[in-house]
Structure 1
Amino acid sequence: MMNPTRGIKSRRTRPAKDPLSREIIVQTAYELLKKQGIQGISMRRVAKELDTGPSSLYVYVKNFQELCAFVLDYGLGQLVLPTSAEGSWKERLFDALDAYLMLLFEQPGLAELSLTTIPMGTNSLRLIEFILSALYEGGVSSKAAAWGADLFLFYVSSTAFEHVSWKQDGNDHMSVIKQSFQMVNPVHYPLIASLKEELFSGDTEAKERFRWGLEVILQGILKTRH
């Protein structure tokens, strides 16, 4: 006989899941990226984190490459760009690229994504638009500005990726490389031997060498205005 006072238990053993959306998928992938680096994100791992199957994600993102593009763009939402009142066009350009570098330093997974992913989204477009606007203000032609923006972004991404990959490895690669250069045979490598100090000069904390690289790229762009 049924007991009328007995409570009926739901078969549900846990709270209802939030409905899937592209925003939730991207945010989940970004959190995995922060914790585990680029190796930590895949369609399968994101799906597992969301307690669903990988096929469910393809309703919202076409493929893994598109997911990476959206994750990169989500990370770039933290980027603070200079205002139009902050210095000359060149100062604003360099400050923006410096801010981009620091963001990639702070979020190591983003550095690799920035090298391997085609930008997609409003935050990526905002950064590119800022660079193009600064170059236009400096009198750079359309083609030189377009190609120059790509060169600037690649330089920043590669600099950041080298920095974070060495840091993650845990080994002091720079000291090892510097020591090997210090020991070169001056007879066989006279220029390396004579420039062994200059080859490793440049204040890393002040980003002196990084800013020098920006200046070299900019001057090359300004000399090829066509």
Structure 2
Amino acid sequence: MAQDPKARRAARHLQSGAAPAHPAPRREPLTVDRIIDAALHVVATQGYDALTIRAITGELGTSPSSLYAHVVNKADIDDLIIGRLSSELVLPEPDPDRWRDQLLQVYTQIRDQYLRYPGISRAALATVPTNLETLRVSEAILAILLAGGVEPQTAAWAMDALSLYVAAYALEISLVHARKTGQSEEWVLSRDELLHRLTTLPADQFPHIRSHAAELTSGSGHLRFDFTLNLMLDSLTRQPPERTEQTESHCPARP
């Protein structure tokens, strides 16, 4: 006669005096989106210098071999994270009457994205834009420039120059912040300290720096950022100089 089901169940629970077995929790599958999330978390909490394959796999609790099933290498991850940041930008419909303001809005968003993740603009500087989200931003910026009446070749090079400036601006801020919070803090001067040093320079060697130290050290917040972008935009509708034939290649314009 077959054993009673309740008895069989009790016998299973008592086997070898072991506690009842529980199925192991299923691990969340590894995806490209999870890899990007982990990479951005590393940068946000430790800075871009800490972004390595080992750091990402540590965040995910997986192995490098698992990661390489989804990404090619570190450069591929750079492309992916800049693509993610690009996907979050709000891009306006080009308006010929507001093209300058629209460019400032887009580049201000890019600046703020870079500042959220210390040093991440280095990834943008080192990446040839092929990610579709990154190219979406390039397309929008180029469209705004053209809507503003900027000549196509000037627009193409202007986009590159503006993007380089924004990336460098954000990188400089991240480097200064890193020095302030690290062992090199003593090398970061306050404005008052810098002003004092400049105004006490030998007058016969540095007359202009001494006289205009206040101007040289002025500008709080993002005043210098706005000034520089407006300065660059002021020149875009002027007649471009004649160009000699280009003899070497250059990376495509980046957002």
| Shorter-chain TM band | 0.7 to 0.9
The offset of 1:83, in angstroms, is 4.7
Contact 1:140 1:225 in 2 (8 A): no
Q: Secondary structure at the match of 2:29?
A: coil
Q: Secondary structure at the match of 1:221?
A: coil
- Residues 36, 190 of structure 1: alpha-carbon distance in 2 compared, 3 angstrom cutoff: same
Give the aligned partner of residue 203 of structure 2.
186
Q: Quick one: percent identity of the two aligned structures?
A: 26
Q: Which runs of 5+ in 1 are unaligned?
A: none
Give the aligned partner of residue 9 of structure 1.
21
Distance in 2 (alpha carbons) for counterparts of 1:26 and 1:146:
29
Greater relative CO, 1 or 2 (CA 8 Å, sep 6+): 2
Contact 1:30 1:75 in 2 (8 A): no
Q: Deviations over 1:135-185 (max 9, x none)?
A: 111222222211111110111111111122212322443534433322221
Give the aligned partner of residue 173 of structure 1.
189
- Residues 85, 142 of structure 1: alpha-carbon distance in 2 compared, 3 angstrom cutoff: closer
- Residues 182, 71 of structure 1: alpha-carbon distance in 2 compared, 3 angstrom cutoff: same
Q: Secondary structure at the match of 2:227?
A: helix
Amino acid at match of 1:216: L
Give the aligned partner of residue 164 of structure 1.
174
Amino acid at match of 1:147: W
Distance in 2 (alpha carbons) for counterparts of 1:211 and 1:44:
38
How many residues are aligned here?
221
Give the aligned partner of residue 220 of structure 1.
235
Larger CA Rg, structure 1 vs 2: 2
Give the aligned partner of residue 165 of structure 2.
155
TM-score, normalised by the number of residues in structure 1: 0.84
The offset of 1:88, in angstroms, is 0.9
Q: Deviations over 1:13-47 (max 9, x none)?
A: x5221222212211111122211111332112212
2:142 is the counterpart of 1:132: yes
Distance in 2 (alpha carbons) for counterparts of 1:162 and 1:190:
28
Task: Provide the alpha-carbon RMSD of the alignment.
Answer: 2.6
Contact 1:166 1:173 in 2 (8 A): no
Distance in 2 (alpha carbons) for counterparts of 1:104 and 1:54:
27
Give the aligned partner of residue 54 of structure 2.
44
Q: Deviations over 1:108-141 (max 9, x none)?
A: 2433333333444333222222211111112222
- Residues 94, 100 of structure 1: alpha-carbon distance in 2 compared, 3 angstrom cutoff: same
2:216 is the counterpart of 1:199: yes
Q: Which runs of 5+ in 2 are unaligned?
A: 1-9, 243-255
Distance in 1 (alpha carbons) for counterparts of 2:97 and 2:133:
23
Distance in 2 (alpha carbons) for counterparts of 1:214 and 1:89:
13
Distance in 2 (alpha carbons) for counterparts of 1:86 and 1:139:
8
* 1:85-104 correspondence to structure 2 within 5 Å: 88-104=98-114
